[in-house]
């Protein structure tokens, strides 16, 4: 806990108070280089090497204080109500901030992005498609990276230099993750925020590195979380109600010690080259590969239960079937749409899930004792 601050009401013990930048949600678009919006995590090293400043449109949308209005911009333009909120939010952000260039991930992310790309072109935005290969083969990834570099007028050699420049920031993000699950000094919300921000480093990787370094120094002086709370894993795309989800979990005697997709954004397995790094990045490829990585982390982090978040109207929700087959731990599946805060129904489900985990944990402990 930060010195001089009282524990959050209703929270067991004295956990660290989540610390995220005060301007979270007021992400100023600092004009340093020519900006390019991105619809998902992409090889930003190539964009930076080509003189572009990547801006993650998802983070710009969800960090806005006017998310509902951004969604309404898309719906007034003709996007249907049963279309993914993230897609509508990205469109609204592009219109609101007059984004001129967008790199759209057409394979390995959202199937709706292909049609979003066509609508953005209709609106006069310069759109560039990028497709991850079907499987994480280093040769295939290398070819995709080379094609992107050639299109943007740069080289893989320059991008490799950029990868080296980003190394320190990514190492700090991974250290933050370690302080979360191993040392109990960082909250689930902080973990979520700083890891998810590695998709574009909030528009300035040097500033990101500086601010995260300050947080890590402060976190090491905190009183750790108690050793006995329930340990949860969060898998799936980042939630639309993250700001409410993580604190509510902690208020009810549990904590998230693994954020699957957010951790992948930080490139936890960088390998020895850009192609190897983006081959080891699990999210764009087979869900079975993701499940294998998840199972390793569940064991390593001593997880008691799993929250699987799915976005309404997203094809990835079907993957819940595969996760439930592969993961032999209790799973709570939460669906989000345009509800940017936790509603009573979601809160009740979380409470019931945690109660079930406590009963299960108690039964397991009694069985082990006998």
Mean per-residue pLDDT for 82-106?
94
Per residue in 277-295, pLDDT tens? 999 999 999 999 999 999 9
pLDDT of residue 227: 84
Distances (CA, A) of 54 to 34, 111, 281: 9, 21, 18
Q: 34-157 is classed in which CATH architecture?
A: 3-Layer(aba) Sandwich (3.40)
Mean per-residue pLDDT for 212-219?
97
Q: pLDDT class for 50, splitting at 50, 70, 90?
A: very high
Mean per-residue pLDDT for 195-210?
96
Q: pLDDT class for 314, splitting at 50, 70, 90?
A: confident
Least confident of 37-41, 74-78, 103-107, 165-169: 103-107
Whether residue 43 is predicted with pLDDT greater than 50 in this model: the reply is yes
Q: pLDDT class for 364, splitting at 50, 70, 90?
A: low
Q: pLDDT class for 198, splitting at 50, 70, 90?
A: very high
DSSP letters of 123-174? TT-EEEEEE--SS--HHHHHHHHHHHHHHHT--HHHHHHHHHHHHHHHHHHH
What's the rounded Cα separation, in Å, for the pair 263 and 172?
A: 12
Is pLDDT larger for residue 147 or for residue 7? Answer: 147
Mean per-residue pLDDT for 6-28?
37
The model's pTM: 0.88
Q: pLDDT class for 5, splitting at 50, 70, 90?
A: very low
pLDDT of residue 336: 85
For the chain, domain boundaries: 34-157
Q: Exposed, middle or buried: residue 136 (CB in 10 Å: 0-12, 13-18, 19+)?
A: buried
């Amino acid at each position: 806990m930060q010195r001089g601050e009282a524990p959050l009401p209703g929270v067991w013990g004295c956990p660290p108070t989540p610390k995220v930048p005060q301007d979270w949600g007021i992400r100023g678009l600092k004009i340093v280089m020519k900006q390019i919006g991105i619809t998902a995590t992409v090889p930003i090293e190539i964009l930076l090497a080509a003189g572009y400043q990547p801006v993650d449109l998802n983070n710009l949308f969800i960090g806005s204080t006017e998310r509902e209005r951004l969604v309404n911009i898309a719906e007034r333009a003709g996007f249907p109500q049963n279309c993914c909120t993230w897609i509508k939010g990205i469109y609204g952000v592009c219109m609101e901030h007059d984004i001129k260039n967008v790199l759209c991930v057409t394979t390995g992310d959202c199937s709706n992005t292909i049609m979003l790309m066509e609508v953005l072109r209709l609106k006069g935005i310069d759109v560039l498609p990028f497709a991850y290969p079907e499987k994480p083969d280093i040769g295939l990834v290398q070819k995709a990276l080379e094609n992107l570099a050639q299109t943007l007028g740069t080289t893989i050699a320059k991008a490799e230099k950029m990868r080296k420049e980003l190394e320190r920031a990514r190492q700090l993000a991974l250290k933050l993750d370690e302080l979360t699950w191993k040392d109990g000094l960082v909250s689930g919300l902080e973990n979520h925020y700083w890891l998810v921000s590695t998709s574009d480093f909030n528009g300035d990787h040097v500033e990101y590195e500086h601010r995260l370094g300050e947080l890590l120094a402060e976190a090491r002086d905190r009183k750790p979380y108690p050793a006995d709370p329930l340990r949860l894993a969060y898998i799936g795309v980042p939630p639309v109600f993250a700001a409410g989800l993580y604190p509510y979990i902690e208020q009810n005697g549990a904590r998230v010690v693994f954020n699957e997709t957010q951790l992948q954004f930080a490139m936890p397995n960088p390998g020895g080259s850009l192609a190897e790094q983006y081959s080891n990045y699990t999210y764009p490829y087979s869900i079975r590969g993701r499940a294998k990585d998840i199972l390793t982390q569940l064991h390593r982090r001593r997880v008691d239960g799993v929250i699987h978040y799915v976005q309404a109207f997203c094809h990835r929700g079907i993957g819940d079937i595969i996760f439930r087959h592969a993961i032999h731990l209790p799973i709570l599946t939460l669906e989000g749409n345009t509800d940017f805060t936790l509603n009573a129904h979601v809160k009740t489900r979380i409470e019931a899930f945690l109660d079930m985990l406590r009963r299960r944990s108690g039964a397991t402990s009694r069985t082990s004792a006998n």
